[in-house]
Amino acid sequence: MDLFLQTLLNGLLIGGVIATFTIAFQLTFGVLHVIDFAVGGWVVLGGYLGYYMAAGLGVDGFLAIPAAFFLFGAIGYLIGPILYNVRNSRTARPELMALALTFGLFTLLRGGMLTAWGFNTRNVPTALSGESLALGPVTVPMIRVAAAVFAIVIAGGLFLFLYRTRYGLAIRATAENRQNAALMGVNIRRLSANVYGLYAGITAMAGVLMGAVYSVNPEIGLRYTLFAFFVAVLAGLGSVGGALVAALLLGVIEAYVSTYVGSSYSLLAIFATLFLVLLISPKGILRRGL
């Protein structure tokens, strides 16, 4: 029973971290109508930034979180307009081309990281690494709790921004209906760039947390892309609220399969769930997808 509770808690904590970048991923799909294959690449890059800041500058890994947001936010802000142009170009199949573009970007990031840093895995060292927290019968690593707290702060900030500011209203309006938002005076092009920047920044922050809880290597990016896709399918593409629920569910499924069946089967279980959802309820379990 203790193991059961401990696994549940571990899953929920990791699910919280996954939720941060999958929410942003859904938001990007809602605004740009682009499935971003590169999501795993941003996660891994964030983790590497954390590692190099800690190893090179000797600062605590958690200090890399704001740095990751600003650095990758800026990079995303520069990539956003390119993606927007391809998605809205007058070529025969813009949706396909945009998908291919992010796929190329992901491959480029993966190959570049492999060339630069090799296949070694890196862990982001923090002051809390190695400590643990006892909650009644269960013990969880302190770093997971801290990561989940950071995730709640990031996700909470994002929701406040989306639901309590004028610009957040513009983003939600664009996701809901692009034409009408444009008629209301929203500059879709600039907003798309901002949203992609926001998304890349948040994803990189989640990457620092993931790098602190587990570790990162260039090949692990695929796994996080699969996580984002899983959440997108479960929640329905573009559904922001559903992403939170689906991400927590993903964390729990992964934790239970890893604990009770074996970690090499976790992707298999995730895919089986994904396939069942596609079969039974293609617009996501909450039926809110696009």
Is residue 216 close enough to count as binding other proteins by CB under 8 A?
no
Mapped onto helix, strand or coil, the DSSP state of residue 58 is coil
Residue 207 · residue 43 · CB < 8 Å: yes
What is the rounded distance in angstroms from the CA atom of residue 96 to the CA atom of residue 230?
20
Q: Please identify which residue in 56, 58, 90, 164 interacts with other proteins, judged by CB under 8 A.
A: 90
- Other C-beta atoms closer than 10 Å to the C-beta of 17 total 29
Is residue 275 close enough to count as binding other proteins by CB under 8 A?
yes
Q: Please identify which residue in 1, 92, 134, 183 interacts with other proteins, judged by CB under 8 A.
A: 92
Is residue 105 close enough to count as binding other proteins by CB under 8 A?
yes
The type of residue at 262 is G
Q: Please identify which residue in 120, 179, 183, 185 interacts with other proteins, judged by CB under 8 A.
A: 179
Is residue 139 close enough to count as binding other proteins by CB under 8 A?
no
* Closer Cβ to other proteins, 41 or 61, answer by number: 41
Is residue 111 close enough to count as binding other proteins by CB under 8 A?
yes
**Helix, strand, coil tally for the chain in percent (to 5):** 75, 5, 20
Q: Please identify which residue in 3, 57, 70, 95 interacts with other proteins, judged by CB under 8 A.
A: 95
What is the DSSP secondary-structure string of 179-220? HHHHHTT--HHHHHHHHHHHHHHHHHHHHHHHHHHS-B-GGG
Q: Please identify which residue in 5, 74, 160, 278 interacts with other proteins, judged by CB under 8 A.
A: 278
Provide, rounded to whole angstroms, the least separation between the CB of residue 237 and other proteins: 7
CB proximity list for 103: less than 8 A, separation 6 or greater:
37
Q: Please identify which residue in 63, 75, 82, 173 interacts with other proteins, judged by CB under 8 A.
A: 82
CA distances from 184 to 56, 152, 170, 173 (A): 48, 32, 9, 9
The residues of the shown chain that bind other proteins, judged by CB under 8 A, are 35, 37, 82, 86, 89-97, 99-101, 103-112, 114-115, 118, 177-179, 222, 226, 229-230, 232-233, 237, 264-265, 267-268, 270-271, 274-275, 278-279, 282, 290
